[in-house]
Structure 1
């Protein structure tokens, strides 16, 4: 006895008999004989057949209700429903039901892995899409070189650059275009007079030819260290310790002049360099300290003798003035007597007009 069954509007049916596919059924009411197997499929989803897709596509009625998307081995496709990205299709043949939703498909050739600029960036936030892309960010102060399959393609400016994951390798090498401050670690240098010392050297540089730096220079920092260290060794090796200490400010300009041609060949320029510290061995520092102490003592002795000479000269000039002017001598005498009497509690003198003579006699006699 036939059984009544109904296929809803959002479903599609495939009828099987004894395991073999018979026909495609649209929404509606049907009477099925016993033993018939009706399988329903959600028309809003991708059609995943219970067997080889090509066998089912032999049914013209079924094929007319499906959108077939062919994605080749080097391709990838995005699925859009009502203008919104819903997922990714990998290589293979894919089938979607027609009619329920407005779908569109966009196929990309991954042999050109960079995503086109006209692709809506909101589509890249879909989890299935995120798994298939790689993003490289270049900051406003950076430039970058793009290599695809180990071949240089172009120089990239600031921005975000999106590429499909594929059999082709994609590498983005970046360089900072800002002024860089670098310190050369202290190293042992031998002076002309065989003294070992250490110099901490600093310099600034910036990239002026990013193409050369990114495509021709390997390990930029190491090359800079070697260049400046060799120039420092050349300068220090031709001067004695005393000459180096006297000409410390000249080291920076000398080193810059020496390395300038090499910096140009590396795509760089440098305008400032100088010595941060000169570190002497312990025994040399002790000797220098002793020399400094001796020099300061000698300077102090010279100053002391100069002051003593000036004081003696002043006394001589004062004596000459007193000898030539009795009144001045008398005033000076009164000044000293005043100072002396301040320290005496009581002095006895006789009356008369020669009071000062009596005071002088008393003070001279120790009374």
Structure 2
């Protein structure tokens, strides 16, 4: 009788396994996409073989635990940071960071939250880098500063398995009083340059007139022809007043006595 009971229990367990097998197999099968990897822990220990994927992999329910890691490039905005430049100017700067996970195991084992850690590190790096630059360096060398930030971030996040691909500074905001002062300075600089250019033009014109006068004085007939050309230009406009230029040589006898 006891053997019959044991046989019945064994048959029931086998039957239960057969009935639940389709459901348990679905619980054991997992799928990760082409751009994902799965890091598996068995009873708290990392399984050998590295990350799984892409495709199908097996786990043991209630024993294995897995974490999916996305390998695609991720972007995040650095909120506007108040920065004090090297020449004691306060400004607000925001940027965009592009990064991706290069080593899934390091991203899980070496840091608690690699995305949040990268975000906070980018904010700190932005303030530190801009704090060593003057206002004019920031405004004129944004691309070089972005490359410097990218290099420093990439070096700092390399132990976490994170690769920083690109950093872009999107906006630089200055106080209103500083903007007005810079606008006034730029306007004064443009006016000074305009006056310098006008003075150089006057200098060149005076030099050209001196050369022309020297050339004309060497030939008395040339100055007479110039007088006739001037009269021709005046009469072509149908003016009622005719001007006769008087050669300055007529007054040379009066000026010598003085």
TM-score computed with the length of structure 1 as normaliser: 0.55
Q: Does 1:211 align with 2:105?
A: yes
Alpha-carbon separation, structure 2, partners of 1:335 and 1:76: 120
Does the Cα contact within 8 Å between 2:153 and 2:164 map onto a contact in 1? no
- SS of the residue 1:193 aligns to: coil
Distance 1:160-1:285 versus aligned 2 partners, 3 A rule = farther
CA RMSD, 1 decimal: 3.4
The count of corresponding residues between Structure 1 and Structure 2 is 237
* Deviation at residue 229 of structure 1 after TM alignment: 1.9
Map of 1:159 onto structure 2:
55
- The within-5 A match list for 1:226-245 is 226-245=120-139
Deviations 1:183-209, CA, capped at 9 Å, x for gaps = 322211122333221222234333221
Task: Show structure 2 runs of 5+ residues with no match.
Answer: 246-258
Alpha-carbon separation, structure 2, partners of 1:364 and 1:231: 80
Q: Does 1:70 align with 2:13?
A: yes
Does the Cα contact within 8 Å between 2:92 and 2:172 map onto a contact in 1? yes
Map of 1:198 onto structure 2:
92
* Deviation at residue 266 of structure 1 after TM alignment: 0.6
Deviations 1:133-168, CA, capped at 9 Å, x for gaps = 48644221221223456554352111245768x5x1
Q: Which has the higher contact order (CA 8 A, sep 6+)?
A: 2
Distance 1:71-1:152 versus aligned 2 partners, 3 A rule = farther
Map of 2:145 onto structure 1:
251
Deviations 1:217-243, CA, capped at 9 Å, x for gaps = 322221112212222222222333234
- The within-5 A match list for 1:1-367 is 68-71=11-14, 76-77=17-18, 89-90=19-20, 107=21, 115=25, 133=27, 136-147=30-41, 152-153=46-47, 155-161=51-57, 168=62, 171-344=65-238, 362-364=242-244
* Deviation at residue 334 of structure 1 after TM alignment: 2.5
Distance 1:340-1:270 versus aligned 2 partners, 3 A rule = same
Alpha-carbon separation, structure 2, partners of 1:199 and 1:252: 12
Alpha-carbon separation, structure 2, partners of 1:182 and 1:285: 29
Task: Show structure 1 runs of 5+ residues with no match.
Answer: 1-53, 78-88, 91-106, 116-131, 348-361
Instruction: Please identify which structure carries the higher strand content.
Output: 1
TM-score computed with the length of structure 2 as normaliser: 0.74
* Deviation at residue 169 of structure 1 after TM alignment: 6.8
Deviations 1:34-69, CA, capped at 9 Å, x for gaps = xxxxxxxxxxxxxxxxxxxx9xx99xxxx9xxxx55
Alpha-carbon separation, structure 2, partners of 1:192 and 1:317: 54
Distance 1:288-1:71 versus aligned 2 partners, 3 A rule = farther
Instruction: Please identify which structure carries the higher helix content.
Output: 2
State the structure with more CA Rg. 1
